[in-house]
Amino acid sequence: MNKAVRIAWAVSIVAIVAASCAKEPSDNLGEKQMAAFDAWVGLYGDGAEKQPSGIYIKKLHSASGVIKPPVEYDWIQLDYTGRIMVDGDVFVTRDSAVAVEQGTFEYFTHYVPQMIQFYEDGDLPRGVYDAVGTMNEGDRVRVYVPYTLAYGNYGRSFTGGYQGQVSSVPAQTPIIMDLELKKIISDPLRDESNEVAQYASRNWGQTIADTLKTGLYRRSLRTGLDTATVKDDSIAYVYYVGRFMDGFVFDTNIADTARKYHIYDNSSSSKYDSLVVSLKSEDTSVVRGFYEAIKGMRYGETAEALFTSTYGYGSTGQAGTSTTTEIPPYAPLMFTIEVIPLNGDGTAQHPYNITAVKGLPQEESNVWITGYIVGVVDGTSVEENAQYAQTVSVKTNILLSDKRTAKKASEVIAVELPEGPIRDALNLADNKLNYRVKIALKGNIRPYLGQRGMTGVTQYVK
């Protein structure tokens, strides 16, 4: 709303209050305010009709079909935008287009109708409750609400990403609400169970017989080389992407994915480490569906899981914050989960550790390995000529281990350093601070200095 119109609104409301006081003297401030409210809506309410409760409703769209408003304790999906009546400022919206227009759009906010239970003493302001009680599924209305049926003598602040150009409604402030009743749900558990089952059938070709548990589906996207599975008494390290069923990403510990969806959190570098999930007892740091989906996955496998709110945040959901997404009540969730291989798989993302290199059944080319630099070989044999020390003179090779303090040939492999920038950067003789530093290398697994090692190094990451 432009500045001129806002000023006109403000001047009008002052004039209306003055006029109402002059016409009908009264000691009751509430009556004066209600008279001013009625007069304002009469002038600017575009034909809105007064209801017995004192609100005014302007029908914007009436859905055809059976007239069936919600009944007490139904759940509803309600789209809305709220404005301060006097100046038109938006204080809350579920509409992304309005948020963009107001300059309040946030990428972490899921701009969808609110899932809320409909009952007289519930979370809806009384005036909004009264308006919704006149609506059918699909109806759109504009509601003018006096302060006594809005946020009363205390006002209300809004957080969680849905706030508008102002984030609060002052005390004793009438409001305008644009409402759209998207859906009426009498049994939300059944509704979401049907939604999940239909999605799994349509997109994954799965039926109820394929569930891990009732309402919990999983499908494998790819498997790694490891055949070991995550068991009840184990620990898994995972990367994940959490989505709602419309594809909206609400959480991830993959930095590139967070940046792609503009939800990267600069305040927490550890957020993008692999997540440690203990299966020795049910891990309460993750929702149950996430925990159940991991069990039985192969190390190195990536899978998708889909489950009802029974395994998620249930009938209460989880409130959003200034940097996190609200999880609605009865919200099915989807996760893409990657269980990191126990010993790596030779990729840049999951390099082989030294244990894996030693256990490989055959030579491999162009693979990544990782380990701590623990010494060099001053001779032709790791077994006989290894030097586990920081001060050395050899520049042509280094020893890598899974242990920072390794002292045995059985715990290390030798890596040939090619002449040039890689040798200059990694050789221990010239770079003493590399001692016991973990690095990653790309090269070929070949016999070297009397046992399996790495030659042909082409890349490294410190």
Residue 37 lies in a domain: no
Residue 24 above 60 pLDDT? no
* Six-digit token string for 334: 């989807």
Indicate whether 155 and 204 sit together in one domain: no
| Predicted pLDDT of residue 283 | 66
Which of residues 21 and 181 earns the better pLDDT score?
181
Q: Examine the domain organization and report whether 204 and 178 are in the same domain.
A: no
Within 10 angstroms of residue 187's Cβ, the number of other Cβ atoms is 12
Q: What percent of the chain has pLDDT over 90?
A: 80
Residue 165, in any domain of the structure: yes
Whether residues 264 and 369 fall in one domain? no
Last residue of a domain, one of 295, 311, 339: 339
Mean pLDDT across the stretch 124-152?
97
The domain in which residue 101 lies consists of 48-185
* Domain-embedded: residue 68: yes
**Predicted pLDDT at 160:** 84
Q: At residue 12, does pLDDT exceed 80? A: no
- Average pLDDT for residues 375-397, to the nearest whole number? 97
Based on the domain organization, do 407 and 454 belong to the same domain? yes
Q: Is residue 18 scored above 60 in pLDDT?
A: no
Beta bridge partners of 334: 243, 306
pLDDT over threshold 80, residue 295: yes
What is the rounded average pLDDT of the residues 392-418?
A: 97
What totals of helices (H) and strands (E) does the chain contain, helices first?
10, 21
Give yes or no: residues 153 and 252 share one domain: no
Residue 19 within a domain: no
Has residue 6 been placed in a domain? no
Mean pLDDT of 335-358: 92
Q: Please give the share of the chain, as a percent, with pLDDT higher than 70.
A: 93
How many residues make up the chain in this entry?
462
Note whether 83 and 160 are same-domain residues: yes
Tell whether 171 is covered by a domain: yes
Please tell me the distance from the alpha carbon of residue 412 to that of residue 399, in angstroms, as a whole number: 6
- Quick check: is 152 in a domain? yes
Q: What is the pLDDT of residue 197?
A: 97
Q: Are residues 173 and 223 in the same domain?
A: no
pTM over 0.85? The answer is: no
Query: What CATH number is given to the structural domain containing 68?
Result: 3.10.50.40
What pLDDT, in 10s, does the model give residues 163-173?
Answer: 999 999 999 99
Q: Which of helix, strand or coil describes residue 359? A: helix
Residue 56 shares a structural domain with residue 179:
yes
Q: What whole-number distance in Å separates Cα of residue 179 and Cα of residue 78?
A: 7
Mean model confidence pLDDT for the chain: 91
Q: Are 212 and 311 in contact (CB under 8 A)?
A: no
- What is the mean predicted confidence (pLDDT) over 417-444? 97
Pick the last residue of a domain from 167, 185, 203: 185
Map residue 309 onto helix, strand or coil: helix
Residues 197 and 290 in one domain: yes
Residue 29 binned pLDDT confidence (cut-offs 50, 70, 90): low
| In a shared domain, residues 192 and 324 | yes
- In total, how many domains does the chain have? 3
Tell me which of 31-35, 78-82, 126-130, 143-147 is least confident. Answer: 31-35
Residue-wise pLDDT for 252-266, tens only, equals 999 999 999 999 998
- CATH code of the domain in which 380 resides: 2.40.50
- Is residue 129 assigned to a domain? yes
Nearest to 115 by CA among 287, 315, 340: 315
Residues 232 and 333 in one domain: yes
Confidence label for 65 from pLDDT (cuts 50, 70 and 90): confident
- pLDDT, tens only, 47-60: 999 999 999 999 99
Span 40-51, mean pLDDT? 96
The whole-number pLDDT of residue 198 equals 97
pLDDT level of residue 287 (50, 70, 90 thresholds): very high
Are 181 and 310 in a shared domain? Answer: no
* Domain final residue, candidates 185, 201, 219: 185
Full DSSP string of 205-228: ---GGG-SBTTEEEEEEE--S---
Which pLDDT score is estimated for 323?
84
Tens-digit pLDDT profile for residues 298-330: 999 999 999 999 999 999 999 988 789 999 999
